[in-house]
Amino acid sequence: MSSSATTSSSATTSDPATTSDPATTSSSATTLTRDEVAYLAHLARIDLSDAELDHLAPQLAVILESVAAISAVDTTDVAPTSHAVPLENVFRPDEQRPSLSPEDALAGAPEVEQQRFMVPRILGEEV
């Protein structure tokens, strides 16, 4: 029984997908290491170069601090909502309004055929 525990332990250390989450085991909440960013990139299936890892680590730390500040807001007295504005299906009445006659609408067209606007062909073959 102890041999299987040893086997599974060695398997988890060699496979990055099964290792413990370094983002939750970070020693500092404001600093992310290259390895933590690489782990997160692995989870997101994003290939990052060494330069990108070095560049993104401090930026991701700032983003996480911002999210932590939002999470600290007391929302116990705020009702859950799916939309910020409490409006649903706002429609205007379907009424007839004065509009252009077909003749007036086609009066400024460069070319008209059978009371329709004629436009240059943009597709190769006629369907």
Q: Give the global pTM.
A: 0.38
Nearest to 35 by CA among 68, 26, 109, 44: 26
Q: How far are the Cα atoms of 33, 111, 112, 113, 119 from residue 102, in angstroms, in the given order?
A: 68, 14, 11, 12, 17
Residue type, 77: D
Task: Give residue 10's Cα distance to chain centre.
Answer: 36
Kindly report, residue by residue over 25-56, the tens digit of the pLDDT. 444 456 888 999 999 999 999 999 999 999 99
Kindly report, residue by residue over 68-113, the tens digit of the pLDDT. 888 888 988 888 887 777 777 888 899 999 999 999 999 989 999 9
Whether residue 43 contacts residue 23, with contact meaning beta carbons closer than 8 Å, is answered with no
Query: What are the sequence ranges of the domains in the chain?
Result: 10-64
**CATH class, 10-64 region:** mainly alpha
